[in-house]
Amino acid sequence: MADVAIAIVSWNLRDRLAACLESLRADHEAGRAEVWVVDNGSSDGSPQLVREHHPWVRLIACERNLGYGPAVNLVAARTNTTPWLAPANADLRLEAGALAALLEAGARDPRAGALAPRLVLPDGRTQHSVHPFPSVRVATAVNLGLGARVPGLGERLCLEGHWDPERPRAVPWAHGALLLVRRRAWEAAGGFDDAMWFYAEDLDLCWRLRRAGFTVRYVPTARVHHEHAAAATAAWGEDRHVRSQAAAYAWMRRRRGRPRAAAVAALNGGLPALGAATALDPARRARLRHWARLHARAWARRAEGAGRAGREA
């Protein structure tokens, strides 16, 4: 039996899926991983690619787009004997040894419910992929620029531009592009929430892992190349940012209550708007106005969350 069941969710990413599968072939041949692809109704020949060129991969070809979390849950239900489950995007390529590094980190820390790799962008930079849970405190720190002004705060909160991507650590939550999840932690948390179609499902899973007594660990020695938001960009373009934030607000309202969610949205929209009104630099003013409008639109669409808005694709 393999250590890991890798559940790759793909939608119209044929060429990227091919590269992803090739990067996993060695782990499969070593008996470390069984690899599954859930194709969410692609029209670009992705299922045929898997059948004809990767017969070692187990394929679930869906007639419609189930969304990310529900697709992973299909694989989880069919692989309940593997000690680890790894939800994954199709726009990834694992470097040699990445999966082994995640497994080793998990073996060293039995409280780790999920292990997150370093995500490497096409230009070679490390993607900012670990975050604090959304809160009034975090929104205030981000919008007032406290990560740069208060020594150690940005590193402690894993704020973009102020965290050390070289340091392994426990983090509140990590992007779900690839997560190695301990099976007993997955079951304790209840897996992905089928009601969350796309976006924020990783935030929600990590929240429930913590409530079940597990941690999430960032493992920078496990390097995974990531063409960030490839499918979402193809589907929605720049609107993906609004959809992503709307899903986060919907999650926060559901899990932490409407007053707290509304306060965070007010800070994320109001403080940039105030800054734009007083900014002398035109570029900074435009940036702040864009940020304020994005959050205003996301809050207005929060009721859709990642459900109806996502199913338009």
Question: Smallest Cα–Cα separation from 258: which of 307, 201, 299, 210?
Answer: 299
- Domain parsing of the chain, residue ranges: 4-128+165-235, 134-161, 238-311
What are 49's two structure tokens?
């690619």
Q: Torsion over CA of 76, 254, 66 and 235, rounded to 10 degrees? A: -130
Expressed in percent and rounded to 5, the helix, strand and coil fractions of the chain are 50, 20, 30
The pLDDT tens digits for 21-62 are 999 999 999 999 999 999 999 999 999 999 999 999 999 999
* pLDDT single digits (tens) 267-304: 999 999 999 998 889 999 999 999 999 999 999 987 65
Stated pTM of the model: 0.91
Sign of the Cα pseudo-torsion (79, 81, 85, 90, in order): negative
For 91, 92, 127, 193, 232, the CA distances from 121, given in Å and listed in that order, are 11, 10, 6, 28, 16
Q: How far is CA 270 from CA 52, 212, 299, in A?
A: 53, 35, 12
Question: Any alpha helices (H) in the chain, and if so which ranges?
Answer: 14-29, 46-53, 68-78, 98-108, 136-143, 146-149, 153-157, 183-189, 201-211, 230-236, 239-256, 258-278, 282-300, 308-311
CATH 3.90.550.10 fits 4-128+165-235, yes or no: yes
Distances (CA, A) of 1 to 80, 107, 131, 183, 267: 11, 17, 34, 14, 50
pLDDT in tens, 138-157: 999 999 999 989 999 999 99
